[in-house]
Structure 1
C-alpha cells in the first residue's frame, strides 16, 4: 500500500488540511479503479464501507493478488468533516461559499483535451489513445491554480480519478435503500456491481444537469468520443457510478463488511484482483431512467407520518406519507403516481409546505432539465 498526502490550499491563517489517498497494485498491469467515500462528509456509511475495503485490500495485496490498481480515498472531504454548527454536522455544502461539494465539478472541455493530445492519437490503438487522453487530462488539471481550500479539494479529487478506468463515488442518502446512479453507457459494466451490492434501485441518466463527480468523467469521455469519430478508436468509455449506501444511520460493521466484499467480488470479476469470480445474484429491480423518478413534495406544513417503508415496491395510488396539522386536525395523504421503488426519503418528521420528501422510481421519463436536487 502506497500512502500519498495531498495538501490543500490554506484558506485562513493557522489552518491546514490534507487529502489522503491509498494506492494498491499497479495500473500498468491491468485496469485502474478509483474509489472515494463521503464527498458529502456527513454520509458516514460510505466512509465505513471504504475503511473496511481498505483493510481488505491490504490483505489482498499482501497475498500477491493485485492484478490491476485500486486508488482509494476513504475520507474525500476533510473540509466538510470540520463543519459543525451548534452540534449539527453540515457536510453537504461548503460553509464559506454555499457550494454543494458534489456539484459543478470543473473539467477541461473535450475540444481542449483533443487539441492537447494532437498528433499523439493512433489510428488503430484504442488503448494507446485512452492512455494519452488521460495523461493530457491530468496535465491540464495540473495547470489549474486553485484559489482556495474548496477549489484545491475538488482539483485533487479530479486529478486522482482522471487516471482511472473505473470511477466509483460512494455516498448515502438520508433514509434510503441501497441504490445506484450511473449512465446508460456505464450501466453494462456497472450492472454486476449493482447485483453484488443488492441494489434495490438503479437510476440512469447521461447528463443529470448537476455536473456531479462521477458524471463529469463519463460525460467528458463521451464528448471526446463523439468529436473523434470512428477514425480514431477509443476504448470503453470511462465507467463511472455513484453508489448510495442506504441512509445516514445505516452504520454498522456487518453492513459495511458486506458492501466492501461486494466491491472486492466486483474487482475480482473485472480481473483487478486475482480470484475466482462469483456468480452474481439477480438484479433486485430493473434499471429505470432518472427522469422517471417521481419527486414527492409536502403539500402543507405539519408532522410527517410515513406510511410506506423505505425500499418498498409501490403501485400508483399507494399512500406514501401523511401530513398532520395538529391545530386544524387536517390529515393530508400523499400518494405516488408511479409504479416503482420508494428508494429514498427525508429523515426529518416535521416539514414546511413544498419540502422535497422522497422519490419513487419509474419506468417512463416524466421530468426534464436538472434531474438532481441541491
Structure 2
C-alpha cells in the first residue's frame, strides 16, 4: 500500500509522562509496514516549558514540531486535532475523556480506562451520543505475536482444550521512596497494582481462556484477595482467580509491586500440552513456546515433547499497532474497535470492581456510587 492510500490521523497528546513519551516516539517512527500516517499535532501539558522539553527530549526530529499548549483544554479545542491520546493518571481519565468527547474529538485512553465500570459506561454513553470513536489503549492485544498465539490456541487448538492459565506481572516499585502524591501511591489518582498492572494479567487470562469478547463472552466467577499498604491503603499485591462454571477452566492472575516477575510471565495449559510466554513484562511479550506431547504418547506421563518457539522482534515499544488500528477504524467511520470493543473494557472493569470489593482496596469514586 502506498503512503497516499493510508489513513491520516492528527493526534493531540494529553500529559507528558512516561507512557506518553513511549507513544509519541512510536508514532514518529518511520515504518515500512505502517498501516496509517500519524501526525503529532499538539501536546498538552501543565506548563508550556514542560511541554517544549517533552518535544525536545522525545521527538526532536518531528517536522513540523507539534503545537505545545499549557493546558489540556486548548488541545481539545484545536481544530487541527482529530483524536486525543490520554496518558494521565487513572483517576483523571473519565473527565479527560468527557472533555475531549464534548469537543467532538475521538479518544484513545490509556488503561485502566477508568477507575470503576460505572465511569467507563458514562464515557461510552457520551461517545455514543456524540458519535465519536473511543478505545481503551490496551496495546498488548494488538501485538501480532499475541494474535498469532490466539489463533494457534483457539482456532488450531495446538495444545488441545485450554483448562488453566497462569499470569503474573510484578514490579519492584519501592513505593516507600515515592512521595505520597505520586500516581503510584495516591488513592485519589487511582494507585495500586490492580488497575496499574494486574489488568495485564487479567487480560492474558481472558485472551487465552476463551476467544469471545465483551457481551458475547462467558462471565467467569471472580475470587480475589488483596494486600493493602498500611500507610496509603492501596493494593500492593492482588491475586484474582477466574473460574468458568460451564467448563471448570481457571485463570490464576496476579500482581505485586514488591518483586519483579521473571522473563517467563505466563503459562497456558491444555489437554495436549502447554505454552509459555516471555517478555520484559506481561504488557510487552516478545516470544512464546509451545510444548506438545507426540500424538502416540499423549497419555504417557513424562513423555517427550515437541517444542516450537515463536519470536518477534520489532522497533519501538509496540504501541504503534494499536495506533494503526485506531486510524483504520476512524477512516472507516467506526466508533469502536473489534479487538478492544467497549463491552470488553466494561467487562474487565467490572471484574476489577469485584476484585476490589472482595480485596478491600477503595477509591474516592466508590463513595460516589
TM over 0.5: no
Given the two structures, how large is their TM-score scaled by the length of structure 2? Answer: 0.26
Given the two structures, how large is their TM-score scaled by the length of structure 1? Answer: 0.26
